[in-house]
Amino acid sequence: MPQNKHRSLFFLFLAVFLLINSGCSVQKYLNEDQKIVRKNKIIIDSESAIQQKNAISSDLQTLYKQPQTSAFSNWYYYKINDIKGDTSSFRKFIMRWSVEPSIFSESQTDATTKSINNYMIQRGFFESQTGSEHEFKGYKAYVTYTNLPGPRYFVNNLIYESQDTAIKKILDASIRDSHLRPGRPVDQSLYELEVNRITRMLQNQGYANFFSNYISPLKGDSCDHVVDIELEILPQAGGLPHTKYTIGQINVFTNYDPQTPRESLITEDYKGINFLSSTGKHPIRPRALHNNIFLENGALYSRNDYDKTLRRLGRLGAVKFVNVRPEQDLENPNILNYNIFLSPAPRIELNGAIDVNNSNTSIINQRSFGITGRVGFRHRNLFGGAENNSTNVSGGIELADTALGPGFINFFFRVSNDLLLPQFLDIPGVFYTLNKIKLGRWSPISDRFYNLLKDESNTRFTVGADFVSQRLFYSYTSLNFQYGYDMIIANRKRYSINQTGVNFFTPRFADDFVERVLNNNEFLKRSLSKQLFTGFFFRDITFNYTSLTNRANETYTFLSNFETSGAEIALIGGIRGKPITMLKDSTEFSKFVRLDLDGRYTRVYNDRQSAAGRINVGAALPFGSSSEVPFIKQFFVGGGLSIRAWQMRELGPGSYYDEDNPINPGGQVPNRRFQI
């Protein structure tokens, strides 16, 4: 009966919605000669296959000067203008869906046609021709753009020209890395990539004042759709060759105050770098700062080293402000001295939050009231070396009114401490050893990744404890320790590697839960046993990548996590010829591998409309003496980070609720999906 009622309400709402919107024509808001663009279409009419055609088509979609809009979004737009004085939440809801319509214009159509044609020429289709046609149906306009790209032109030969013989020698030696090497299309986007490559390469070889404006536009001679292109490096003003710089003196002002005269500062030399302060004491030890400065006295200037220094110092939690400023040496104009100005951040930070929530789960007729709180303490410079220590304590309690009556209590308490060191500490030398293993060109840890770890990662130590109690089902205590690294590359790639991790999981169960569930499900009983998760040389790795937003306002995100437990224990058991399964107190050594892959797509259409999609797949397998993956490591759906309309683990096998048997034969436990 309730289902029929809900179905009737749904169809009633649908009927009202269609009735309202059946009269939502926007024609009454238009002048007689105005047409709304309802559809734009681009046709690329080419006899031969086009490389990267999908990417080109996607870029072309962004060139419309009069984008298409939907009937409903236009109607909402005009409706809002009719009710300007209304500030209700209903009007705000309508505003989210309203979009100003595109009124058809011959001039805008011509502008779009030119933009499409210019874009195709920039991509190497030098004989491109683009036309347009439109069709009116009532107050609606449908516009079609047809492009005849013609043949695409490709690079036959690349020649670098420069009066500066030193620079020409560098460029000729790097021609294999060029984005415009023979066989590539004569493409404006590739030219821009080549300009950036040359600029960065020369800056990394001492040419600190070399910029992209010294690179000329492309010149070329074509024959049979291939082009001999020339790229010229222009000299400095007056025809002078470009200057190559070396690093001179490096001065670090550890507590910079512009009001304090430099002559009054006390200077301390540490490994060739001057550290200056008004008292001779430094908020952060010179040794810790030196480890994050990659500029080196006497070395050639390198843009990579400059950026790395600025990035690493800026990520120190103990530093609030960083400014790295070069100065040309007064005695030798080919030397750059560097002043690094630091302003320390407050050492202590306290934070906290309280959350109150109320929910109603109709499937089991449960109303609940919960309150959670968190208190955090952060020290940004614990030992004087920019060590960041964070301690967080959180807890919560839930009161529920169920079919069993009020008073059902859920409770959790969590405490954790994270110590982050601003350097890479390979304590057992695992990564160093893996990097030295060479099998031909292959190595478990490549030189590039190992150098990134040393230069870009922080070392993290984590200790924590969790206690969770759901009175009618279970309670558990979880103790954990982790040691690993956090690494950020170009703010788009992030690695989190736990080299060592130990987690002790101890559950306890209510008698009715054991009798009704665990005793009837051997798989679940084994997966919820007392367990020890271990990884002494490797525990898990998480990778997060977010792309730059492209011309179509699209962003792609990829997340992955690989985790293992018990590999070393299984190896020791294999060597001794007898599997190691339990500790003396019946705690199982859990052995499993788990892979989780998550892909996300976002496209922003305007400031009010966007679309998002997500695909999440994973697999978890036990190995060795373990026959099940621990329950807390199994996959689930539902909850705030998954499908939010359902509680965590409420979907899927085991979540069925039998309306005819809401209470077990003993009259104690509802037949519902339990959660961990």
342: tokens are 């630091």
Of 380, 252, 372, residue with least CA distance to 323:
252
Closest by CA position to 184, among listed 232, 229, 139, 249: 229
3-state secondary structure 42-80: EEECCCCCCCCHHHHHHHHHHHCCCCCCCHHHHHHHHHH
Beta bridge partners of 535: 501
C-alpha closest to that of 492 among 430, 573, 559:
559
The tens digit of pLDDT for each residue in 589-628 reads 999 999 999 999 999 887 777 889 999 999 999 998 888 8
Q: 429 has which bridge partners? A: none
Helix H or strand E encompassing 154: strand 154-162
The Cα 193–Cα 201 span in angstroms is: 12
Count of Cβ atoms closer than 10 Å to residue 644 Cβ = 9
- Cβ pair 380, 426 in contact under 8 A: no
Rounded to whole angstroms, how far apart are CA atoms 514 and 668? 13
Other CB atoms within a 10 A radius of the CB of residue 540 amount to: 19
Could you tell me which of 282, 382, 299 has the C-alpha nearest to residue 342? 282
Cα gap 309→311, rounded to integer Å = 5
**Vertex 518, ends 512 and 523: CA angle to 5°?**
170
How are beta strands 531-535 and 588-590 bridged, if at all?
Answer: parallel
Q: What is the DSSP string of 216-275?
A: PPPEEEEETTEEEEEEEEPP-GGGPPPPP-EEEEEEEETT--TTS-GGG-EEEEETTEEE
Model confidence over 452-474: pLDDT tens digits? 999 999 999 999 999 998 877 88
DSSP code of 185?
A: B
Measuring CA to CA, which residue among 343, 330, 313, 383 is closest to residue 253?
343
Extract the tokens encoding 395. Answer: 């807890």
3-class state of residue 190 by DSSP? helix
Instruction: Determine the longest span between alpha carbons in the chain, in angstroms.
Output: 97
Which helix (H) or strand (E) segment holds residue 15: the answer is: helix 2-21
Which pLDDT value is given to residue 663? Answer: 42
Tokens 């400095």, located at residue: 236
Instruction: Tell me the C-alpha distance between 337 and 208, whole Å.
Output: 12
Residue type, 179: H
DSSP lists the bridge partners of residue 130 as 147
- Residue for token digits 């539902």? 638
Query: Taking the model in full, what pTM does it have?
Result: 0.81
**Number of Cβ atoms within 10 Å of the Cβ of 8:** 10
For 5, half-sphere exposure in the C-beta direction (CA atoms, 13 angstrom radius) is: 2
User: Hey, what are 127's tokens?
Assistant: 């004989």
Please choose, from the candidates 645, 643, 634, the residue with its C-alpha nearest in 3D space to the C-alpha of residue 675: 634
Distance in angstroms (rounded) separating the CA atoms of residues 617 and 635:
9
pLDDT for 671 equals: 38
What residues contact residue 117 under an 8 Å CB cut-off, 6+ apart?
A: 128, 129, 130, 147
Q: What is the DSSP letter of 438?
A: -
Amino acid at 71: A
Q: Residue 115's pLDDT is what?
A: 96
Buried b (16+ CB within 10 A) or exposed e, 212-241: eebbeebebeeeeebbebebbbeeeeeeee
Mean pLDDT per block of 10 residues along the chain (676 residues) reads 51 49 63 88 89 87 88 70 58 66 92 96 94 92 95 94 94 95 93 96 96 93 91 91 96 94 94 95 95 95 96 94 95 96 95 82 62 95 95 89 61 95 91 92 92 94 93 87 93 93 91 83 81 93 93 90 94 88 84 95 82 91 89 76 63 53 40 38
Cβ atoms of residues 154 and 226 within 8 Å:
yes
Which DSSP symbol is given to 84? Answer: T
Residues in Cβ contact with 517 at an 8 Å cutoff, skipping those fewer than 6 apart: 524, 674
Instruction: Answer yes or no: are the C-beta atoms of 124 and 152 closer than 8 Å.
Output: yes
Cβ neighbours, 10 Å, residue 48: 8
Please report which helix (H) or strand (E) contains residue 389, including its range. Answer: strand 388-402
Bridge partner residues of 355 (DSSP)? 372
Domains of the chain in start order, with CATH, are 31-67+102-148 (3.10.20.310), 154-239 (3.10.20.310), 246-344 (3.10.20.310), 423-633 (no CATH)
Would you say 36 and 69 are in contact if contact means Cβ atoms under 8 Å apart? yes
Coil, helix or strand at residue 672: coil
CA distance 62 to 71: 21
Work out the burial of residue 341: count CB atoms within 10 Å of its CB; fewer than 13 is exposed, 13-18 middle, 19 or more buried: middle
On the CB side of 368, CA atoms within 13 Å amount to 20
Label the pairing between strands 246-253 and 335-344.
Answer: parallel
> What is the H or E stretch that residue 408 is in?
strand 405-421
| Nearest-angstrom CA–CA distance, 491 and 547 | 10
Contact between residue 180 and residue 231 where contact means Cβ atoms under 8 Å apart: yes
Residues in the chain: 676
Question: How far apart, in whole angstroms, are the C-alpha atoms of residue 600 and residue 602?
Answer: 7
> Which two structure tokens, joined as six digits, stand for 413?
């308490």
pLDDT of residue 164: 93
